Amino acid sequence: QVQLVQSGAEVKKPGASVKVSCKASGYTFTAYYMHWVRQAPGQGLEWMGRINPNSGGTNYAQKFQGRVTMTRDTSISTAYMELTRLTSDDTAVYYCAKNIAVPGAHWFDPWGQGTLVTVSS
């Protein structure tokens, strides 16, 4: 079955960077966009951007432009999301989510289990 397994929780200091991984299995990794979504404690969902695992092309939400980098390693079916210059506002659960198998449809299914990133001095 399709599965996305993310890396473990991280604690970072303000100003640092974090890199979260998302290992995919059960489908052809390069065939579907991978998205990243975050959720601050007690808050709603916020789309950060997406990567085309085939080409490596990315689209980022303007809010994160200049601070986020999404990459992938097709040899191990893994996507990465790196966020730099962290502040306490970046404390959140970060999810990777696979684009569904409908052409042009940016809906997310399934999602990874989430990675809690805590930014604290």
Partner 1 sequence: EIVLTQSPATLSLSPGERATLSCRASQSVSGYLAWYQEKPGQAPRLLIYDASNRATGIPARFSGSGSGTDFTLTISSLEPEDFAVYYCQQRSDWPLTFGGGTKVEIK
Q: Which is nearer to partner 1, 82 or 110 (CB)?
A: 110
Question: In this structure, what is the dihedral angle of CA atoms 90, 25, 62, 11, given to the nearest 10 degrees?
Answer: 10
Q: Which is nearer to partner 1, 41 or 121 (CB)?
A: 41
Residue 57 CA to residue 43 CA, distance in Å, equals: 29
Residue corresponding to tokens 């950060």: 48
Q: Which is nearer to partner 1, 76 or 102 (CB)?
A: 102
Residue 82 C-beta: closest distance to partner 1, Å: 19
Residue 60 C-beta: closest distance to partner 1, Å: 9
Residue pair 32/101 in contact (Cβ under 8 Å)? The answer is: yes
| Token reading at 46 | 């916020």
> Dihedrals φ, ψ of 4, to 5°?
-120, 120
Residue 104 C-beta: closest distance to partner 1, Å: 9
**Largest alpha-carbon pair distance within the chain?**
44
Q: Which is nearer to partner 1, 32 or 108 (CB)?
A: 108
Binding site for partner 1 (CB under 8 A): 35, 44-47, 59, 61-63, 95, 97, 100, 102, 105-114
Residue 106 C-beta: closest distance to partner 1, Å: 4
Residue 14 CA to residue 38 CA, distance in Å, equals: 18
